[in-house]
Structure 1
Amino acid sequence: MSERVTIVAADDHSMFLEGLSSLIGKSSTFQLLGTGANGDELIALIEQFSPTIALVDLSMPGAKTADILKYVETHSPETQLIALTMHLEAHLAKTLLRLGLSGYVLKESAFEELSDAINNVVAGEQFLSPAMMEALSVVDADEAALTLREVEVLACASNGLSNKETGRQLDISERTVRFHISNSCLKLNAHGRANAVAVALKNGYIS
């Protein structure tokens, strides 16, 4: 049996956190190591456990998500953050994705979507709820063309390089690679890394 994905979570709504804990506890592939009620407690949990995934409520008190991302980048780079929120805040989401957020899931979504998000992130992809993808596509409407860096990242992917290898070649972090792939997916209306490469090849961005 493969090793379970280790998770910590923080949310200031105790009933939501209890429900989330119960659902994760029933999973045979996920292991919840601890929970907290604010950003500072989440940082303490990350420091204690170095989990694979940290689930963060964007509106809870204590350390802000941007600060948690900066902490993780320095102290627990293997930990990936997935945001759980009730709000479609596209501009905030775009900023956090640029800082290294790996996933964005609406609290109203079914647990299966969170499960998909965790599995995608563990596989090296970013994950956005469909509603957030739509909201971000509106924000990006005036920036439809791929940037040079996005083209470079997709070119590396088309040559078989992993996100980590792409980061080394372009001298950027793996989190930044995932951000560029996610942004490319939005612009190309693609579903995942491989599909983004295929669409970029078809449209002549890469060869």
Structure 2
Amino acid sequence: MMYTLHMNTSLAWHGSLIVVLALNMCACAARMNSLPVPFGRQEGRPVVMGFVDVQVHGPITRIVPPYITFLELLNRQTRERVFLTIQAPDSPFYIHLVPGDYLVTRVQVNEAGFRGMASLHHAFTVTDHPVQYLGHWHFALASPTTIRRLSLSIESNLTQAVADLLLRYPTLSSESVVPALPVPLTGETRLFEITPYPRVWWYVRNPPT
């Protein structure tokens, strides 16, 4: 009887653990694939839109695919920094920006508990036009090595972008969309690993005292 009780308790504990892990996985997926909050027009702040994705080029042993955490934009006139949250391996983005000259300065990539940051230098201009398209941004991440490279190529897929815009935000159906692709259209940079590191023993060798 005691053995049966022990087995039932063990099964119940394992069952609870599986449920908790499943809920955590669902919560993470919901955060990573969250859609932007619907919006309409804002006086003096045009809608800027685009699409971003990231893929690994080359062999890799990590089972979790990388995703873009955010892009950092710098207004060259006001020096204001804008963080464009992505939280997905591929996603459209929509944001209101004040007209002016901008630089895409940084990107953060998450991959199976590892976080990396890379500097970028791609310029674009936001005009007074109500809706502007920054293009489809393809990030290519090299396999993990001592010096890990991250490349970016930007292309225009305006027809698909307009279709996605009208599907998500029908209130903007009366507005035309003009391209505002950043320059240069291609680039390559180095990805630097940043803390916090994954909480596994070979990274956490000196616990706090």
Pairwise TM-score range, normalised by the shorter structure: under 0.3
Q: TM-score, normalised by structure 2?
A: 0.20
Q: TM-score, normalised by structure 1?
A: 0.21
Q: Which has the larger radius of gyration?
A: 2
Using CA pairs under 8 Å that are at least 6 residues apart, name the structure with larger relative contact order, 1 or 2: 2
